[in-house]
Amino acid sequence: MSHEEEDTLLATALQKFVDVDGSLGRKIIPYAHDAFHVREARQYDSMSAKDRLDVIALSLTPNERAALESFVLLCSCGTLETTSFFEFLHWWALCGYTYQGCMDSLISYKFKGGQSSFAIRFFKEALATGKLSYVFNSPVKSITDVGDKVTLTTRDGRQYTGARLVSTIPLNVLNSISFSPQLDPLRMAAANTGHVNQCVKVHAEISNKDMRSWTGISYPFNKLTYAIGDGTTPAGNTHIVCFGGFNNHMHPEEDVQETRKAVENMAPGNMDIKRLVFHNWSKDEFAKGAWFFSPPGLLSSSLDALRRRQGNVVFASSDWAIGWRSFIDGAIEEGTRAAMTVKEELQSSPTSRLRL
């Protein structure tokens, strides 16, 4: 199938999937940054992607269904049963209610120097103030909030104390840390449920130059499902990014031959692999998964609780952003909110208003 035929196929299938209101989702989620604004939107959080597929099954051709399922799984990297249909509608609204918008917002653009180059600039800006102290590689054991200060203890016994603590601990890691006083029951329940994204992302350098703008789907039998050509590496090879998820999960470092095979299966005969690069986010103790994607029920029951502060602890993570939840934009939303909260509380009000 050509690129354009695939595009049309997926666009058509997506429209059938999201059209719950005769307006391609625009009536049910009119404000992407206030996704529960319309009360009726909540019902879609008790549906999974699978439930919605069952509703529209008769209207989909087999090819449309395969393209649609693989795209939904590319977003959630869970299973169709564990993917909240509401959260998919929310992504769709964020992307302007069009397939083109999804491509523009989710796929087409990247930082020249990679996502890390962006993160490093935030870090350097903070460092340049001369007021930043930091430690890395220090897993947190406990957080104790007593009176007007919070104390954090690392697993190796170091302690740090402050007037406020901004916790950026991701949802899937939250229940590995001991809080005193305990986290409120709703937040704790959400942390125990966790989000469902167990993305397997494998980067391959291959020699075939024709593959640099290619997109491929291999679904449902392969361990990797979706792959895109992503330009040329400094060595002149083609960079391919392959995605898999929990629906057919693997740990790429456990059996590299299996990983290699899964990459080759994305385009049999066209994958002369020079190098494979991956990081297993599922096993990463600081992440326990990839970007947030919610199972049915999680957001409608717990989003407000996850966003609430608890005493001197303010929780900031893209995992509970209201707009670009799961994206770095959501991390900026929530980081800004937390910083503003703490700044307003701790900044002494100027004694006199200066006027020249």
Strands 149-154 and 159-162: antiparallel
- Shortest spacing between CB 190 and a copy of itself, in angstroms: 31
Q: Binding mask 273-312 vs a copy of itself (x if CB under 8 A, - otherwise)? A: ----------------------------------------
Evaluate whether 326 touches 178 at the Cβ level (below 8 Å): no
Residue 39 binding a copy of itself, by CB under 8 A: no
Binds a copy of itself by CB under 8 A, chosen from 39, 58, 112, 133: 133
> For a copy of itself, which stretch binds (CB under 8 A), given 9-17, 124-132, 297-305, 325-333?
124-132
**Position 1 contacts a copy of itself (CB under 8 A):** no
Q: Does 269 bind a copy of itself (CB under 8 A)?
A: no
Residue carrying the six token digits 């990839």 = 290
CB of 133 to a copy of itself, least distance (A): 4
Q: Find the binder of a copy of itself among 39, 57, 129, 157 (CB under 8 A).
A: 129
**Nearest approach, Cβ of residue 32 and a copy of itself (Å):** 10
Among 162, 213, 171, 216, residue whose Cα is nearest residue 195: 171
Residue 38 lies near a copy of itself (rule: CB under 8 A):
no
Pick between residue 126 and residue 277 the one whose CB is nearest to a copy of itself: 126
4 touches a copy of itself (CB under 8 A)? no
Judged by beta carbon, residue 112 or residue 355, the one nearer a copy of itself is 355
Least distance to a copy of itself from the beta carbon of 352, Å?
Answer: 9
Q: Which stretch binds a copy of itself (CB under 8 A): 68-76, 127-135, 234-242, 320-328?
A: 127-135
How far separated are the first and last CA of the chain, in Å rounded? 70
Q: Which segment (46-54, 71-79, 129-137, 227-235) binds a copy of itself by CB under 8 A? A: 129-137
3-state secondary structure string, the chain? CCHHHHHHHHHHHHHHHHCCCCCCCCCCCCCCCCCCCCHHHHHHHCCEHHHHHHHHHHHCCHHHHHHHHHHHHHHHCCCCCCCEHHHHHHHHHHCCCCHHHHHHHHHCCCCCCHHHHHHHHHHHHHHHCCCCCCCCCCCEEEEEEECCEEEEEECCCCEEEECCEEECCCHHHHHHCEEECCCCHHHHHHHHHCCCCCCEEEEEEECCHHHCCCEEECCCCCCCCEEEEEEECCCCCEEEEEEECHHHCCCCCCCHHHHHHHHHHCCCCCCCEEEEEECCCCCCCCCCCCCCCCCCCHHHHHHHHHHCCECCEEECCHHHCCCCCCCHHHHHHHHHHHHHHHHHHHCCCCCCCCCC
For a copy of itself, the binding residues in 98-117 under the rule CB under 8 A are 101
* Nearest CB to a copy of itself, comparing residues 26 and 251: 26
Q: Residues in contact with a copy of itself, total (CB under 8 A)?
A: 21
**Judged by CB under 8 A, does residue 128 bind a copy of itself?**
yes
Residue window 137-166: x/- pattern of binding to a copy of itself, with contact defined by CB under 8 A = -----------------------x------
Residue 187 CB-half CA count within 13 A: 22
CB of 340 to a copy of itself, least distance (A): 8
Q: At what angle do helices 62-76 and 85-94 cross, to 10 degrees?
A: 90
Return d(Cα 6, Cα 12) in angstroms, integer.
10
Binding part of the chain for a copy of itself, among 44-52, 110-118, 326-334, 348-356 by CB under 8 A, reads 348-356
Site string for a copy of itself, 77-96 (x = CB under 8 A): -------------------x
Task: Compare residues 160 and 278 and give the one whose CB is closer to a copy of itself.
Answer: 160
- What is the contact surface with a copy of itself in residues (CB under 8 A)? 96, 101, 127-130, 132-135, 160, 344, 347-351, 353-356
